[in-house]
Every structure is written in C-alpha cells, then in structure tokens.
A and B are shown apart, each in its own frame.
Chain A
Amino acid sequence: MSIFEAKHLSLHYLTRFGSKVHAAVDISFELEEGEILGIAGESGCGKTTLVSGLSGMCIPPLNYTSGEIFVSGQPLIGRPLEDIRENVLAKEISMIPQGAYNALNPTRKIKDLAMDVLKSHEKGKANKKEMYQRIHNRFELLGLDTDKVLNSYSVQLTPGEKQRSVIGISTLLNPKMVIADEPTSALDVTTQKQVIGVIFDLLEKKVFSTMIFITHELPLLRHVADRIAVMYAGEIVEMGTSEQLVFSPKHPYTQALMSAMLSAEEGARKRKPEAIEGAPPNLAEEIVGCRFAPRCKHATDGCKKNKQEIRIVDNRQVRCENAK
C-alpha cells in the first residue's frame, strides 16, 4: 500500500470576481514508503499550490476542484478540518516551508514554537519537561548549538539556523511524509549543503522516510530524488526516475528546461543560456490543446488542438502525444 496517493487532483484559486484560476490540474502520483519524489518546474508553475493542496488544508482562496488524495489508504479530502489538523498535519504529512525567514513567529522563542506544535497534537499526554527533552533531542540531530538556538528568537538566528530549526520543528512528530517546498532556495551554496545534509541525516536516522522535495533546481533534485515530476502550467508534464529525466528527457519542456540549466562545464563562458521562448499561459483563461504548445519547438497542429493526456513512454509518464 502506498503511503500517499493523489488521483487526478485539481486545484483552483477563486478570484474576487468569481472567476477561477486553475493552478494545478489532473495531478496523479503515488509514493511508496522510503521514496523521495522531486517536483521541478519554473516559478509560477503551481508547485507551491500543489503543496498546499496535498496537505489537505486548502486555505481560501485555494479550493479543490476534483480528484482525491489518500494518506495511508485513507481519503483526505472531505474529512473535517479539525480531524485533519489533529491527525494528519505534522503526524502524517509535515511541511518544510519556502523561506524559513518568515515562517517563525518573531515574538516567540524557538522552543516555545516547537512546544506549541507538540502541545497542539498531544493534549495532556506528556509533561512539559519531557516535551522539552524531546525537542532538545531532535534539535541535537540538526547540528546546531541546541541550547542557544532553542532559547533564541528567530531574528537572532542566521538563515541556515532558521532553516534547520524549521526542519526540526516540522519533523518533531516523526511524520510519515515530509513535503519540503524549496527549502534551500534562499540560501547560499554552503548553507544549502548543510541543510540538505541535515535532511539526509534525518532520513538516515529514520525520523522520516518519505519526502516530496520541491525545487526549481534540477541538479539538486538529481542528488536527492528517486523520481522527478516536472510541472508546467499546473500540470505534470513528465514523471520518471531522476536518471531518466536528467539524462534522457522526453517531453519538449523537460528538454528545454535541461538545456536552459547553467552548468560549469568547459566552454560555458560566453555561452548564452538557452532560454525557453515565450511565457507560460494565463491560467485564468481556458486552454485548448497542449499547455506548452505555444512555446514548443516541436508543436504540431494536432497537439495545439488536442488536450494532452498522460502516456507511458520509455517506462515513464509523459504528457505529450509526440514524445517517443
């Protein structure tokens, strides 16, 4: 049984004037225990929207359109919010948010923030001392000056310390699955390595085993993920193992994304990076045919008109009728 499953999940934002922006469309994937799924895509492709939807807590104006989510076989959508809050969040699914610099309440100490998470889920079960000990033990794993960090306010911490504290708080209850939304995007390379190192440490120590890792950096994903899903304009356009996607991408968008990647190879200086022409479509409008077609070099009349469905090509899912 898979730990997490999304079936044809669609999400939309409701605008002030009643129109809908379909930010995530027909998302389907399954996660086995111990698997790490990377989700890649350019800014605005719906990664963060998808993350919000996956946790089961759709905060308006984000709403579910259709589809289902199963957590450990149990359907998530439709359960009462209080039930989700108490039994799913932080226990089954936990989040490591984008930008730890504003994820921590500036007027509370880190230990109090961690304590709030524990207290919210374990009413009256454990005493304060024991809770603090648990927090302390978890933060020891993060390679931090534990006592200093726990007794600090977020403003007193460096970005790396903040991000690691957030990871510590998010994994306090040993969640089955962690969704990390660009946990390293605001950090410099050294700190980035530290943070990734911490995540791997926690995986190694079996604090959690399954993860959805979201980033716009494909090389990072190749390091981290078992499978990669590439998103474009709210859809998953290609999903396969990281080897497949990085070395033999099939979808034109994945290919373009790969060639647009800057690398430090020889002769790279003065080489203009290949940008993808055009801009993503406006999701508030109805889109006919392939969403990537207007920017696609290989677009045909057929794929401009026909809605693209997932196909299995070369042992992976591709949303392109021309992919071979």
Chain B
Amino acid sequence: MLKNHPTIRFILQRGIWYLLTFFVAVTINFFLPRFGADPIDLIMSKQKGATGKQAEDKRTAYMKEFGLVDQQKVAVTVNREIFVDGNNKPISYETLSKSGLLVEDTLTQLWNSTFSVTDFAALQNALKKLNEKKGLKLPDWIDVWGGCEEVEIDDEREDNYECLPAWGLEEILRKNLTASEILSLPGININMGVKVYSANANALSEKLGGFSLVSEAYLVKEKSGELNIYQYNGDTQKPRYVKIAGAGNKVDDGNVSFLIGNEVLYNKAENEQDESVLTMLIPIRRSLFGQYIQYLGMIARGDLGTSLVRYPQSVGNIVSSAVPWTIALQLPAILIGWFFGNTLGALAAYKRGLFDKILFPCALLTNSIPMFAIGMLLVYVFAEGLGIFPASGGYAIDVVPGFTIAFITSAAYYYILPFLSLFPIFASGQATGMRTMGIYELGTGYVKYAKTLGVSEGRILMYIFRNAMLPQLTGLALGLGTMIGGALITEMIFSYPGLGSALLSAVQTNDYPLIQGGALLVMITVLVANLTVDLLIGFFDPRVKAGLSGG
C-alpha cells in the first residue's frame, strides 16, 4: 500500500528508526543510575541534617519518587464501624464524601503542612461546624502529635521534654488536659495530623501505655456497643488490625466521632455489618522490570520525575526554567553565526583573491581556538581589565526576571560577552565549510554550462549557494539540536544560568532524576534535529528525493 506513497513511506521509515533509537536511549538512561551504588543511599549520605524517623520518611519519599517503591492497596479486615452520627448510626464513607466538607481532606491538608496554634483553632472550628452540620458532637479530646524527632517519652524521666513538639498523647492524657489546654501548651506545632479520641481519657491512658502513637490507632465501636482500640499490625504480608485494648463501657458513645489515619482509604462493604474492609496503601519495593515499566510510563506522560536534591521541585520545572537561558544563550549565536559565516564563505568562494586570502586563514584560526579560551580571554580583557562588561551571571542582581524593559536590557548587557565567545567559532566553522563547498560547486559542469549559455550571474550564484547550502543546512540543524546540552563550558565560565549549569550541579550532587531528565532532553533534541535534517534533505535535495521514488 505504501509503495504508492514514497514520501509517507520515507517519513515512516525514518520515524521508526528514530523512535527505536530513542527507545534504546531511554533504556540506557534508565539503567545507568541503577548499575552502581544505590542512588538513594548516595543522596542520603550527602544529606547529613536528617536522622531517625524524618530521614526514614525522606528515604521512603525519595524511593517513591525514584520509582523504587510502589504503594500497593492491601485489603485489611476489621470488625468495626468507623463513622457514627449523633444517633449512633453508621455513616458510610460515600455519604461523608458527598457531604462537601470532607474531614479527611481537611486532615490530609493538615498532614502535609505545618500549622501554627491559630491554625489549629481554625481546624477545631471547622470540625465543630462539620460536626454540627452532620449531627456529630465535637470530641473532647484532640490529640496532637508528631514533631521534629522521634516521639519517645521516657516515663521515668518526666522532665525530659527538651523537644517541644514531643507532646504526645501520653502526655496529654497524663496531664488530663482539655482541648483548649492543649492549645495553650508552649510550642505546639502540628505537623502530622490530628486524631480524635474519646472523652474518657483515663481509660485510654491506661490501656495505651507503651504503644507508639506515631502509627495509627483507632477507636472502634463494636456492634455490641463495646469500644476497643485497634492498631495496624505493620505486617505487609498479612495486614490486619489487631485489637490492642478495650475501652470498656466507660467511654461515652456520643463522644466518639471518627478516627482517620494518613494513608487509609475506607472502603466499606455495605452488606457486611460486622466486617468492613479497610484498604491500605503500603509501600512495596518494585522489581527492576516494574521500575522500568514505571519509568517508561513516566516518560510517556512527559513526567521527568522529582529532583532528589532540590526535593520536592520537579525535574520538569527545573529544566524548563533552565532551558530558556540555554536557548537564549545559544540560539542567537548559532543563527547569526550561521548566516554570517555562510555569507562570508560564499563570498570568499566567489570572489577569491585577497578577500579569500585574508578571510580563510582567519576563519581557520578562529575555528581552532577552544571556546573556553576565547571566553576566558573576553572575561579577562573586558570584565577584569576594562570593566566594561560584567564577568558573570545572566542579569543584574537588582533586577527581577520578567517582561520588563529593565530586565531585558540587563539580560542583553550580560549576554554580550557569552555571545562574543560563541559566535566567532560557529561562524568561522560555517564560513570554512561554505567556502570549500562553494569552490567545489563553482567548478562543476553545470556552472560552466550555465555560463556558456549566458545565464545571468545572479542565477548562477543562486545555483551555487543553494547547492552548497545543503550540507550547511545539516550543520545548522545539528547545531540547534546539540545546543541544549552544548554550552556547558560557556555557562561555567560566565556563571550563566542554564541547563549546563543545572546538569553540572546535578552530577556533582548525584541528583539522578535531574541528570536523567537533562540527558533525556538533550537526546530528544538531538534526535529531533537529526530527523528534521533527514527529512529536509530528503525534500530539498532531488538527488535524495529521486532515490525515494525509485526513479
């Protein structure tokens, strides 16, 4: 079928090859950081500030971000009814969810941020409102826990409260504080969550004893009316809730409202009065293949992941804020250099003589000077010596980036030296190439023939320029393609904000997701540039085009 459409066949053929190349590149990109030491270990070893639980949480978060672990839903069976209204009737999660102000959402928000005491009061108000709306009563106790370090209260050393947020449930229970009193505790800072408990503090206090309250415990009203406390057993293989204490009849039914944990989804089976099913999300380490599939999925969605060092900034954000600088640095140099170089080269080829004799050696010389040498020379002469131009940075410190005249003039001023270090090299490379091609084309039979037929000079020049241009076009497209990752040295010399600098710092800090994202971006641009050249040459050069149609 495609035989009749050589152009479509050509594009598809190329496209498939490039897609395959891309796939291989992505695979290599995926496996490289997984060959050596554990990237998460490397990152953690560089972050000395965090220890204990916080570090563990961070580690879990990193592993999740890097695709090493997955949260799997696990069904947990528990004999209880969580939501009860004022008349002691169960409220299904669905009803609660539809009611608008969902407590869980509020709590989840709280979970993810740090609150001051006033915020806590706001929460209390919210809960109160909700409860009134629902016909629920405000609980007497609101437990606040979490904090900076592991909550570990040594009963024998009651005065040991150096870490302020270590106000645990035990403490609150022990002191028999009310909600308002809790609020007035010095340094209360909720940053993990809220749990609501029964009014009968003493009963709970006795039973809870040595349990760490960091993991969720639930007060559950049994069918019999008995109240018990359940806790997740922590077993990923056979997850279930274990009854850890009975609250007894001392707990006032009306005061029990609800308990909500962090990563628990309630999935109440309506037909089962006795047994509701709790579905939990539990972190489980992925297999390498699973990680690979997950990585491919991320790439397909255009998600480059999250930076580990600049957590929780996404790689996409970092890259997209760096790329404009890189493009702004290189694109003008490449485009202007290309036009300038090619025009000079064509002129040299056509005019020869003195012009050529001066231009050609100069271009060769410029082209062979390393970029960093020109860059450093420029900094030395114009920034250090004469002080005309700034030595580093992308714009003045006192200017705010944005579409303002002040910013644009500042950026343009700071751009002059980097431009001057890039432009001559690219332009001279193009000029030498164009000169050689032009001289070759001038000697070809068709130019001579056109001359003997008296074809006007302009037309002959156009022949030469067009035919000599084809290989130069490849140079341009490749220049644009490699541009994204290509100006690292320039960015380093001029401390220019760009992808090169971002990648360099990522390499220095083992920020694998950022390295992977940057590498992927460079790969994509190079591949796209190559594909474009392939297709362009196919359409512009009849010699290739004729080959397509088999003519």
Q: Chain A interface (Cβ within 8 Å of chain B)?
A: 52, 55, 57, 59, 84-86, 88-91, 94-95, 97, 99, 101-109, 113, 116-117, 119-121, 152-153, 155-156, 166, 169-170
Residue of A nearest to B456 (CB): A120
Interface residue B102 (Cβ < 8 Å from any Cβ of A): no
Taking a contact as CB atoms closer than 8 A, the residue among A88, A106, A155, A156 that contacts B446 in the complex is A106
Query: Judging by beta carbons under 8 Å apart, are B451 and A59 in contact?
Result: yes
Interface residue B124 (Cβ < 8 Å from any Cβ of A): no
Instruction: State whether A153 and B451 are in contact (beta carbons under 8 Å apart), knowing that A103-B446, A106-B467 are contacts in the complex.
Output: no
B531-548: CB near A (< 8 Å → 1, else 0) gives 000000000111101100
Interface residue B370 (Cβ < 8 Å from any Cβ of A): no
Give Cα distance in the complex from A86 to B463, angstroms. Answer: 19
Interface size range of chain B in the complex: 20 to 34
Query: Judging by beta carbons under 8 Å apart, are B452 and A107 in contact?
Result: no
Tell me the chain B residues, 445-499 only, with Cβ under 8 Å from chain A.
445-446, 448-456, 459, 463, 466-467, 470
Query: Judging by beta carbons under 8 Å apart, are B452 and A95 in contact?
Result: yes
Give Cα distance in the complex from A109 to B463, angstroms. Answer: 12
Residue of A nearest to B549 (CB): A156
Query: Judging by beta carbons under 8 Å apart, are A102 and B445 in contact?
Result: yes
Instruction: State whether A95 and B463 are in contact (beta carbons under 8 Å apart), knowing that A106-B543, A107-B541, A156-B551 are contacts in the complex.
Output: no
Residue of A nearest to B542 (CB): A153
B514 to chain A, nearest CB (A): 45
Interface residue B404 (Cβ < 8 Å from any Cβ of A): no
B44 to chain A, nearest CB (A): 60
Query: Judging by beta carbons under 8 Å apart, are A121 and B452 in contact?
Result: no
Residue of B nearest to A172 (CB): B453
B545 to chain A, nearest CB (A): 7
Query: Judging by beta carbons under 8 Å apart, are B453 and A89 in contact?
Result: yes
Interface residue B444 (Cβ < 8 Å from any Cβ of A): yes
Instruction: State whether A169 and B543 are in contact (beta carbons under 8 Å apart), knowing that A102-B444, A156-B551 are contacts in the complex.
Output: no
Instruction: State whether A117 and B455 are in contact (beta carbons under 8 Å apart), knowing that A153-B543, A155-B542, A155-B546 are contacts in the complex.
Output: yes
In the bound complex, residues from chain B placing their C-beta under 8 Å from that of A156 are: 542, 546, 551
> Could you name 10 residue pairs across A and B whose Cβ atoms are closer than 8 Å?
A85-B454, A97-B445, A97-B452, A106-B446, A106-B542, A107-B467, A117-B454, A119-B456, A153-B542, A155-B542
In the bound complex, residues from chain A placing their C-beta under 8 Å from that of B454 are: 84-86, 88-91, 117, 120-121
Instruction: State whether A107 and B466 are in contact (beta carbons under 8 Å apart), knowing that A102-B446, A120-B454 are contacts in the complex.
Output: yes
Give Cα distance in the complex from A176 to B542, angstroms. Answer: 34
Query: Judging by beta carbons under 8 Å apart, are B459 and A107 in contact?
Result: no
In the bound complex, residues from chain B placing their C-beta under 8 Å from that of A94 are: 453
Residue of A nearest to B547 (CB): A155
Residue of A nearest to B451 (CB): A57
Query: Judging by beta carbons under 8 Å apart, are B542 and A116 in contact?
Result: no
A206 to chain B, nearest CB (A): 21
Instruction: State whether A107 and B542 are in contact (beta carbons under 8 Å apart), knowing that A102-B444, A120-B459 are contacts in the complex.
Output: yes
Query: Judging by beta carbons under 8 Å apart, are A97 and B448 in contact?
Result: yes
Query: Judging by beta carbons under 8 Å apart, are B545 and A153 in contact?
Result: yes
> Given A105-B446, A119-B459, 8 other A-B contacts at CB below 8 A?
A59-B451, A88-B454, A102-B444, A103-B449, A106-B446, A106-B543, A107-B541, A107-B542
